Amino acid sequence: METSVEHDRLEDALRRCGSGWDASQAHGLLAGRLAIGGADSGFDWLSQVLEGTDANDVLRAECETLLGALFEHTLRQLSERQSEFEPLLPDDGETTPIRAAALAHWCEGFLHGLVSARHGDALKERLAAEPLADIIRDMLEITRAAADEDDASDADEEAYVELVEYLRVAAQLTYEELAEIRDPAGSTDDREGSGALH
């Protein structure tokens, strides 16, 4: 399924506005933050991705627009639980090593989103228990993975496709596993993201 924001367009916008995050890292961070905070995580996520950029720069405004669209789209994908979530990665026209590096960056962002949130005892316990402990270990392994551009093969491509599918399912599962952390009272405040970045 197509995402609401193209990877290359966001990558370019983030670079031009001076963000220290790339597109895949920013989306991984978003998925991790949404799993813990739901719609309420939008402002902190946006502030983190755009930290150090000029608030009055028109290039930052472009970034904010793209990030806002990505936030709404990603929240909808995760909260509606329709198995439509997709990590934001370069398209198939890029080389396998470039896409593998972006995959590692996505995992870095996702893990950062989990560990940089405020950690109460309940969250610490959930992250240390299965299946989330396994997901965290797997993603740490993926962050260390890199394909050799001079030795790219069909096996590399197949492995990449499998990893993308794993991340897609793992992000959705993490979101569902942390539902009680996001909303201990059982309300439905994370179903709509409208206005969450404002």
Report yes or no on 171 lying in a domain: yes
Alpha helices in the chain (DSSP H): 7-17, 23-37, 42-49, 58-80, 96-115, 121-128, 132-143, 154-177, 179-182
Report yes or no on 195 lying in a domain: no
Model confidence pLDDT, tens digit, residues 92-123: 899 888 999 999 999 999 999 998 877 788 99
Q: Which pair of structure tokens corresponds to residue 196? A: 């969450």
Report yes or no on 198 lying in a domain: no
| Residues in Cβ contact with 70 at an 8 Å cutoff, skipping those fewer than 6 apart | 3, 4, 5, 10, 26, 27, 30, 88
Report yes or no on 191 lying in a domain: no
Report yes or no on 189 lying in a domain: no
- Domain range for 67: 7-182
Report yes or no on 190 lying in a domain: no
Report yes or no on 192 lying in a domain: no
Q: Using the structure block, give the residue that is written with the tokens 């009055």.
A: 56
Report yes or no on 138 lying in a domain: yes
Q: Using the structure block, give the residue that is written with the tokens 């670079």.
A: 15
Q: How confident is the model at residue 150 (pLDDT cuts 50, 70, 90)?
A: very low
pLDDT of 188 over the 60 cut? no
Return d(Cα 164, Cα 176) in angstroms, integer.
19
pLDDT of 154 over the 90 cut? no
Give buried/exposed letters for 89-105 (b at 16+ CB in 10 A, else e).
bbeeeeebbebbbbbbb
Model confidence pLDDT, tens digit, residues 67-92: 999 999 999 999 987 778 999 999 98
Return d(Cα 142, Cα 152) in angstroms, integer.
17
Q: For position 177, which CATH number holds?
A: 1.20.120.740
Instruction: Yes or no: say if 28 and 106 are a contact pair by the CB < 8 Å rule.
Output: yes
In one-letter notation, the amino acid at residue 106 is: W
Neighbouring C-beta atoms of residue 20, cutoff 10 Å:
14
What DSSP state is assigned to residue 1?
-
Average pLDDT for 114-138: 90
Q: In this predicted structure, what is the pLDDT of residue 27?
A: 98
Give the number of domains in the chain.
1
Burial class (CB in 10 A: 0-12, 13-18, 19+), 14: buried
pTM: 0.88
What DSSP state is assigned to residue 147?
-
